[in-house]
Chains A and B, each alone.
Chain A
Amino acid sequence: MNGGAARLLRRIAPQLVTLAVILATIGFVFPGFFNIAFANERLYGSPIDILNRGAPVALLAIGMTLVIATRGIDLSVGAVMAICGAIAASAITAGYGLPLTLLMALGAGIACGLWNGLLVAVLGIQPIVATLILMVAGRGIAQLITEGAILTFNDAGLAYVGSGSFAALPMPAVLWLSVGVAVALLVRRTALGMLIEAVGVNRRASSLAGVSSRLLLITVYAISGLCAALAGIIVAADIRGADANNAGLFLELDAILAVVVGGTSLLGGRFSIIASLIGAMIIQSVNTGILVAGFPPEFNLVIKACIVLAILVLQSPALYGAAILLRRTS
Chain B
Amino acid sequence: MSESQALLRTEGLTKTFPGTRALDAVDFDLRAGEVHALLGENGAGKSTLIKCLTGAYRRDAGEILLEGAPIDPRDTQDALALGIGTVYQEVNLLPNLSVAENLLLGRQPRRVGLVRRRAMNDRARAMLARYGLSIDVTRNLDAYSVAIQQIVAIARAVSMSGRVLILDEPTASLDRDEVAMLFDVVRGLRDNGLGIIFISHFLDQVFEIADRVTVLRNGRLVGVHDIGGLDRLRLVNLMLGRELAEETRETGRGGIDYDAAPRLRFSGTGRRGAIAPFDLDVHRGEVIGVAGLLGSGRTETAELMFGAAPMDCGSVTSEGRPLRLASPRDAIGAGFGFSPEDRKTSGIIGDMSVRENIVLALQARQGWLRRVPMRRQRELADDFIKRLDIRTSDAEKPIGELSGGNQQKALLARWLATNPEFLILDEPTRGIDVGAHAEIIRMIEELCASGMSLLVISAELDELVAYSHRVIVVRDRVHVAELVGEAITTDAIVKAIARPAAEAGENAR
Contacts and interface: CB of A to CB of B under 8 A. Distances in A.
Contacts of A210: 328-329, 332, 361, 364-365
Contacts of B306: 208
Nearest to A3: B396
A178 interface: no
Nearest to B356: A194
Contacts of A190: 368-371
Contact of B360 (A189, A206, A270): A206
Contacts of B356: 194, 197-198
A23 interface: no
Contact of A195 (B308, B350, B364): B364
B351 interface: yes
Contact of B368 (A192, A204, A269, A270): A192
A202 B363 contact: no
A198 to B, nearest CB: 5
A207 interface: yes
A204 B346 contact: yes
Interface string B348-378: 1111100010001101111111111000000
Contacts of B340: 205, 208
A18 interface: no
Contact of B328 (A191, A201, A207): A207
B349 A206 contact: yes
15 contacts: A189-B371, A190-B370, A192-B368, A194-B352, A197-B349, A198-B352, A202-B349, A206-B360, A206-B364, A208-B306, A208-B346, A209-B414, A210-B328, A210-B365, A211-B360
A72 to B, nearest CB: 16
Interface string B365-402: 11111111000000000000000000000000000000
A212 B340 CA distance: 18
A10 B345 CA distance: 30
Given A189-B371, A195-B368, A202-B345, A208 B329 contact: no
Contacts of A202: 345, 348-350
A271 to B, nearest CB: 11
B363 A194 contact: yes
Interface in A168-203: 189-192, 194-195, 197-198, 201-202
A269 B350 CA distance: 10
Interface in B10-67: none
B338 interface: yes
Given A189-B371, A190-B368, A208-B328, A195 B351 contact: no
Contact of A191 (B348, B350, B366): B366
Contacts of A209: 328, 332, 360-361, 364, 414
Nearest to B306: A208
| Most chain B CB inside 10 Å of its own CB: which residue of A191, A198, A210 | A210
B347 interface: yes
A206 B352 CA distance: 12
B328 A198 contact: no
Nearest to A203: B349
Nearest to A206: B349
Given A208-B328, A210-B329, A197 B363 contact: no
A206 B347 CA distance: 8
B168 to A, nearest CB: 24
A204 B343 CA distance: 11
A199 B345 CA distance: 12
Contacts of B365: 210
A192 B306 CA distance: 24
Contacts of A269: 351-352
B308 A191 contact: no
A210 B352 CA distance: 16
A322 B354 CA distance: 26
Contact of B347 (A189, A205, A216): A205
A270 B360 CA distance: 15
A269 B306 CA distance: 26
A173 to B, nearest CB: 30
Interface string A237-277: 00000000000000000000000000000000110000000
B457 to A, nearest CB: 15
A192 B371 CA distance: 8
A197 B399 CA distance: 14
Given A194-B363, A197-B349, A205-B346, 17 more contacts: A189-B371, A191-B366, A191-B372, A192-B368, A194-B356, A195-B363, A197-B351, A198-B349, A202-B345, A205-B340, A208-B306, A208-B308, A210-B332, A210-B361, A211-B364, A212-B329, A269-B351
B329 A201 contact: no
A208 B337 CA distance: 9
A269 B346 CA distance: 16
B352 A197 contact: yes
Nearest to A212: B329
A205 B247 CA distance: 38
Interface in A203-236: 204-212, 216
A84 to B, nearest CB: 26
Interface string B285-301: 00000000000000000
Nearest to B364: A210
Contacts of A194: 352, 356, 360, 363
Contact of B348 (A195, A205, A211): A205
Contacts of B329: 210, 212
Given A190-B369, A209-B328, A204 B360 contact: no
A80 B368 CA distance: 27
Given A205-B348, A209-B360, A211-B360, A191 B338 contact: no
A55 B364 CA distance: 34
- Give 9 closest A-B pairs by Cβ, nearest first: A210-B364, A210-B332, A191-B371, A211-B364, A209-B361, A191-B368, A192-B368, A209-B360, A201-B351
Given A208-B338, A209-B414, A270 B351 contact: yes
A205 B351 CA distance: 12
B351 to A, nearest CB: 5
B323 to A, nearest CB: 16
B52 to A, nearest CB: 21
A94 B366 CA distance: 45
| Most chain A CB inside 10 Å of its own CB: which residue of B356, B364, B366 | B364
Contacts of B367: 191
Nearest to A270: B351
A124 B429 CA distance: 35
Interface string B178-202: 0000000000000000000000000
Nearest to B331: A210
Interface string B303-339: 0001010000000000000000000110010000010
B368 A198 contact: no
Contacts of A189: 371
Contacts of A208: 306, 308, 328, 338, 340, 346-347
A201 B357 CA distance: 12
A216 B332 CA distance: 18
B261 to A, nearest CB: 27
A62 B369 CA distance: 20
